[in-house]
Amino acid sequence: MHKPLKKLSEELRSGTISSVELTKYYLEEINKRNGELNAFVNFGKETEKNALEMAKHADSIIKNGEGNELTGIPLGLKDVFCEKGMETTACSNILKGFKPPYEGTIVARLRKMGAVFIGHTNTDEFTMGASTETSCYGTTHNPHDLKRTSGGSSGGSAAGVAAGLCAWALGTDTGGSIRQPAAYCGVTGLKVTYGRTSRYGVMSMASSLDTIGCLTQTPEDAAIVLKHIAGHDEMDGTTPKVDVPDYSTLLGTKDLKGIRIGLPKEYLGMGLKDGVRKNFEHSIEQARQMGAEIKEISLPMTEHGLAVYYIICPSEVSANMARYDGLRFGPTSDAKNLVESYFEARTKGFGDEVKRRIMIGTYALSAGYYDAYYRKAQRVRTLTLREFDQAFKEFDVLLTPTTPHVAFECGSLSDPVQMYLEDVMTLPASIAGIPAISVPNGKIDGMPTGLQIMGPHFGEGQILKVAQALS
């Protein structure tokens, strides 16, 4: 029954299936397979009841001929999307037991459309990581090989879609958290232009980099989702009033005639594994045969991506994590005074990676170091942005592999810097705030690899078009 949401939506409309049937099917799949995958967290009777009520409501919307393509379709919510009344924790001990009293714009919009929330998906703690191993609920395993990670931080969403536990899932991408797990699990992952989708009601990691996107079975599905979740929101001042086109109508033909594709050569020197290079070259050849004009380009700022990101991101993390002081959210304590209660909550509540980033970020922002680190990183960020702007005068899209290798084994990256290097190919797009998508690009020994397509600001239409043609 697990099919692209476009197909499922047609079947719901024609009456071949009902949303209740579809929801029961996915709930059963989760019950059967989540034990070994750990893609969903906090899954239980309450989640199932909630999903079935939403499905019943969706069926009545469809019966009245109302709703849209997302009505009645079960999706997973990464555990950073506040869902009213349902435990939402960012997979951190500090938020255990937290039931949001409200929900954010995108979740509320989806609810109104009659989408079905089938459960919360696993993530690295507050989305800091590239393997879901920093989650307080443990690692999500890769459906293609359970010994390997699903990638991260949206590993639960990627594995959930890949294993057929939900039709699609919401994710967040700050430095690669949608694209890298999508590549590792063999699904489509769309990271949007910064500000294309509202962040209101989504737990923040690094506010100038965070974006809300989706993990789907096909680029066509991503186009459908984006049409319904994108756009200006009064509650998020970083969402400009840029029109939301019907992205689906921009897709369609497998023709890339006249599309100018740039191949940034710096990415191909990033320790690519042979098989990844081969699969990438195969896609380039395919694009050429479809009529694309392909040329190499040099983007020298690429090599600074990692350094820039790991100053800006922890700096913003250190500010964003300050609100978790143990008083307003999370478990109660019997500390004797305020300072003791802060200590207790933050010592017990946060994991190592979160603490590491708070320390690095606080250091980088402190008087005396601000100019040397934070301001300098912001300057290099501007240069990166200009370099991309320049490149998009000459090219419609830029193509690179999404990651240098396939999913790694659980527990094999114990050095934090090695883990940071996981996102070496996805960070530049995040720094520049441009959209990028990862689509499946063949396998190596049974493990999926990904193709990354980057476009100019608000150029989601063109990256989706190229993504669909090449997948």
Q: Lay out the site mask for ligand GLN across 288-317 (x = CB under 6 A, - = otherwise).
A: -------------------------x----
Q: Is 32 a catalytic residue?
A: no
Single residue of 128, 170, 215, 437 touching ligand GLN by CB under 6 A: 128
The label of the residue with tokens 């990166």 reads: 384
Q: Are 360 and 268 in contact, with CB atoms under 8 Å apart?
A: no
Q: Which CB sits closer to ligand GLN, 173 or 220?
A: 173
Q: Which CB sits closer to ligand GLN, 59 or 422?
A: 422
Single residue of 158, 205, 398, 463 touching ligand GLN by CB under 6 A: 205
**Residue 174 interacting with ligand GLN (CB under 6 A):** yes
Question: How buried is residue 293: exposed, middle or buried, by Cβ count under 10 Å (0-12/13-18/19+)?
Answer: middle
We find the least distance from the C-beta atom of residue 425 to ligand GLN, in angstroms, to be 12
Q: Lay out the site mask for ligand GLN across 76-115 (x = CB under 6 A, - = otherwise).
A: ----------------------------------------
Half-sphere exposure of residue 438: CA atoms within 13 angstroms, side-chain side: 30
Looking at this protein, which amino acid is placed at residue 132?
T
**Residue 20 interacting with ligand GLN (CB under 6 A):** no
The label of the residue with tokens 């937290």 reads: 98
Q: Is 78 a catalytic residue?
A: yes
Q: Lay out the site mask for ligand GLN across 411-440 (x = CB under 6 A, - = otherwise).
A: ------------x-----------------
Interface with ligand GLN: number of residues (CB under 6 A): 13
Single residue of 67, 175, 201, 404 touching ligand GLN by CB under 6 A: 175
Single residue of 107, 130, 251, 406 touching ligand GLN by CB under 6 A: 130
Cα dihedral 228/231/237/242 (nearest 10): 170
Name which of residues 363 to 382 contact ligand GLN (CB under 6 A): none
We find the least distance from the C-beta atom of residue 127 to ligand GLN, in angstroms, to be 4
Residues contacting residue 415 through CB under 8 Å, at least 6 positions apart: none
Torsion 136-128-322-355 (CA) sign? positive
Q: Are 227 and 250 in contact, with CB atoms under 8 Å apart?
A: no
Looking at this protein, which amino acid is placed at residue 88?
T
Question: How buried is residue 417: exposed, middle or buried, by Cβ count under 10 Å (0-12/13-18/19+)?
Answer: exposed
**Residue 12 interacting with ligand GLN (CB under 6 A):** no
Among the listed ranges 44-52, 174-182, 400-408, 460-468, the one in contact with ligand GLN (CB under 6 A) is 174-182
Among the listed ranges 172-180, 221-229, 245-253, 455-463, the one in contact with ligand GLN (CB under 6 A) is 172-180
Q: Which CB sits closer to ligand GLN, 73 or 214?
A: 214
Structure tokens at 352: 């190592």
Q: Are strands 436-444 and 447-454 parallel, antiparallel or unpaired?
A: antiparallel
Q: Which of 177, 248, 430, 438 is catalytic?
A: 177
Q: Which of 6, 18, 19, 78 is catalytic?
A: 78
Q: Which of 9, 19, 92, 153 is catalytic?
A: 153
Q: Is 177 a catalytic residue?
A: yes
What is the rounded distance in angstroms from the CA atom of residue 30 to the CA atom of residue 443? 25
Q: Lay out the site mask for ligand GLN across 136-155 (x = CB under 6 A, - = otherwise).
A: -----------------x--
| Residue number closest to ligand GLN, CB atom | 177
Q: Which CB sits closer to ligand GLN, 9 or 180?
A: 180
Among the listed ranges 123-131, 268-276, 284-292, 409-417, the one in contact with ligand GLN (CB under 6 A) is 123-131
**Residue 171 interacting with ligand GLN (CB under 6 A):** no
**Residue 127 interacting with ligand GLN (CB under 6 A):** yes
Residues with active-site annotation: 78, 153, 177
Which residues in this chain contact ligand GLN in the complex, by CB under 6 A?
Answer: 127-130, 153, 173-177, 205, 313, 423
